[in-house]
Amino acid sequence: MKSLGWSAVALAVILSATTFPCVAATSTPPPRHYSLPTVPLHTEAIVEVNKKGQVVRIKSTKPCKVQSFNIQTFGNALQMWIRRPDGTAEVGLYRVSYDYDPKTHGVTRKVALVSAGGTWGNDEGAALVMIEQARKTAQEEKQHEEEQNAKLPSLNQIRGASPTPKPEPQITLPPA
């Protein structure tokens, strides 16, 4: 199978994305406390692939000792498309392995067919399912926020002012 190597810069960006805590915007950047692994890393995932070549789910995994590498590689496997060079796909179980080389800081990904066929050929890809779930969650949160805002008193009610101005009394002068 064909292997795909990542540059050291790309791996550093990926590793830093999961190892840095979220930091509020400040005038000076926070100090960077990270280093790339100094030992070789290897992870494997057995994935189910549908008739379009989309990974439907991860059936099993073999993690390494570095949790951030596991998260990155398994997340990558969930988003993969496995197709032949002509664009066609074969439903089946595939082994996806990732090997990190500490000398080059590169990651090699290898894909191999384990067995052809499966009952998940018509299932939707995992990435599309995650996108749809995120869309629904965002829509539900927006609806909940709108409902909460509808229950809030108006600014005029809070200030004690009425929405329409009160007519001012007419002043009449005594006859001269």
Cα separation, 59 vs 99, in Å, equals 19
Whether 106 contacts 7, CB under 8 Å: yes
**DSSP line for 125-136:** PHHHHHHHHHHH
- The pTM of the full predicted model, rounded to 2 decimals, is 0.64
16-34: b (≥16 Cβ within 10 Å) or e: eeeeeeeeeeeeeeeeeee
What pLDDT is attached to residue 90?
A: 96
Q: How confident is the model at residue 173 (pLDDT cuts 50, 70, 90)?
A: confident
What pLDDT is attached to residue 156?
A: 78
What is the end-to-end Cα distance of the chain in Å, rounded? Answer: 109
Whether 163 contacts 156, CB under 8 Å: yes
What pLDDT is attached to residue 29?
A: 65
